[in-house]
Amino acid sequence: MRAILKYAALLAVGFVLGWLARTQLVETDVALFNQVRRGLPENHLYDLPDSRELTYAAITGMVERIDDPFAAFIEPGLAARFEADFTGGAGIIGLFPEKIDGVWVVSAVLPDSPSEAAGLRAGDRLVSVDGFPFDAHMTNGAATLALRGPIGEAAQVVVERDGQLLTFAPLREARPVILDARMVNGRIALLAQHTFTANAPEEVQAALQTLLAQNPAALIWDLRSNGGGSMEAAQAVLSQFIGDGVLFRAELHGGELQEFEAQGEGLARDLPVVVLIGERTYSAAETAAIVMAERGRAVLIGSVTYGKGTIQTTVPLVDGSLLQFTIARWLSPDGTWVQGTGVLPDIEVYDDPDTAVDEVVEAAVTYLEANVLP
């Protein structure tokens, strides 16, 4: 007993000493930061940014230093748009940004979108949106928030094209969960889903009810332009197609696993499904695609997806800014991690934008008619 008490006492002493050491280290770091911040204004030859701007720069430096490509410090001006974006209430302009070697460019403009109507083009170099600079420090999350905003409000987009600075003002429109829901022919339904925002489960359920009332023999679930969203929303939508069991897992710090299981009564659990995927199938949409394939509920047709296999959280800070960082990686039912590789299609098909026909949808119809429908 004395030996156990002695060991416990040693552990307690070690814990206290470790806590004191960590506390002293943090206090030293804070003192160092304050010393630099105070010393610069006192001795610097040139005018300096204000204290808040220097603090933000320091925080940005910390975030960029960690090994997390999705970590971001989002200043209050952009952070104010986060809640509306997460719930699906923010407007969009139909433009896809991409950072290549630190330079932001327009990778694609959706057909019939506000950006196309305004004159923006793929290949334009993004300079700023609503005054927010698209520089090397702009993160993916912040870029998305800069493009989003109140529905009906014009986004002030400055780009460089052929050496000239041009300004465009596309009007933001509602971000639809469902892009298309219709019968392709008398036997096959098509459901094109754009996002997995918090309102997606009820929107998808309503669309499925309308389609199923027309008694389709099969469904094409189009996720090619789906930028993802909430993993909980993906869980709820997948439960429309899969009746039970584990859908996917989240691996947390230290290897702890959290399982996401099918829930509730799904509307389309016996309906044959083809899922369409492509390079703009992202994050939670990739989860949906690979889960449908590995659970034996769908054939995947299209091209390889983006390859984002992590989950982020967003923490509000005292001044209204946000800190975003990765808390987990998600794994498919078979333990597959898609980070950097994407989800591969069972049947590889590409759509030709120069033709009136959607070759990927046509391939799905052909597959269903040849292999599934009587």
Beta strands at 91-92 and 173-174: parallel, antiparallel or unpaired: antiparallel
Residue-level pLDDT at 139: 84
Query: Both 58 and 94 in a single domain?
Result: no
Query: Both 152 and 46 in a single domain?
Result: no
79 domain-assigned: no
Q: What is the pLDDT along the chain (374 residues), one digit of tens a residue?
A: 444 344 334 434 344 344 444 556 577 888 888 888 777 777 778 888 888 888 898 888 999 899 998 899 998 988 888 878 877 778 999 998 999 999 999 998 988 899 999 999 999 999 999 999 999 888 888 898 899 999 999 999 999 999 999 999 999 998 889 989 999 998 999 999 999 999 999 999 999 999 999 999 999 999 999 999 999 999 999 999 999 999 999 999 999 999 999 998 899 999 999 999 999 999 999 999 999 999 999 999 999 999 999 999 999 999 999 999 999 999 999 999 999 999 999 999 999 988 999 999 999 999 999 999 87
Query: Both 262 and 301 in a single domain?
Result: yes
Q: Please report where in the chains the tokens 């969009």 appear, as a residue.
A: 92
Domain boundary among the residues 173, 201, 219 is at 173
Query: Both 292 and 338 in a single domain?
Result: yes
* CA pseudo-torsion sign 74, 168, 119, 154: positive
Q: For residue 114, give the CATH number of its domain.
A: 2.30.42.10
Q: For residue 364, give the CATH number of its domain.
A: 3.90.226.10
Radius of gyration of the chain (CA): 25
DSSP 3-state of 364: helix
352 domain-assigned: yes
What is the rounded distance in angstroms from the CA atom of residue 282 to the CA atom of residue 276? 12
Residue-level pLDDT at 6: 41
Domain boundary among the residues 158, 173, 188 is at 173
Query: Both 257 and 336 in a single domain?
Result: yes
What is the rounded distance in angstroms from the CA atom of residue 66 to the CA atom of residue 233? 29
Give the domain extent around 40: 2-74
How far is residue 203 from each of residues 18, 32, 206, 233, 237, measured CA to CA in Å? 52, 52, 5, 11, 10
Q: What is the pTM of this model?
A: 0.83
Residue-level pLDDT at 264: 83
Query: Both 137 and 12 in a single domain?
Result: no
Query: Both 195 and 164 in a single domain?
Result: no
DSSP string, 247-265: EEEEEEGGG-EEEEE--S-
* CA pseudo-torsion sign 13, 15, 16, 22: positive
301 domain-assigned: yes
Query: Both 137 and 273 in a single domain?
Result: no
322 domain-assigned: yes
- Angle formed at CA 217 by CA 215 and CA 221, multiple of 5 degrees: 100
Burial (CB count within 10 angstroms: exposed 0-12, middle 13-18, buried 19+), residue 119: middle
Beta strands at 218-222 and 273-277: parallel, antiparallel or unpaired: parallel
Residue-level pLDDT at 79: 87
Hey, what are 247's tokens? 């859908």
Residue-level pLDDT at 1: 41
363 domain-assigned: yes
Residue-level pLDDT at 354: 87
Q: Please report where in the chains the tokens 């949906």 appear, as a residue.
A: 288
Query: Both 186 and 310 in a single domain?
Result: yes
HSE-up (13 A, CA, CB side) for residue 152: 0
Query: Both 317 and 193 in a single domain?
Result: yes
347 domain-assigned: yes
In total, how many domains does the chain have? 3
Query: Both 244 and 271 in a single domain?
Result: yes
What is the rounded distance in angstroms from the CA atom of residue 230 to the CA atom of residue 245? 20
Query: Both 21 and 142 in a single domain?
Result: no
What is the rounded distance in angstroms from the CA atom of residue 243 to the CA atom of residue 248? 14
Q: Helix 231-238 and helix 200-212: axis angle, to 10°?
A: 20
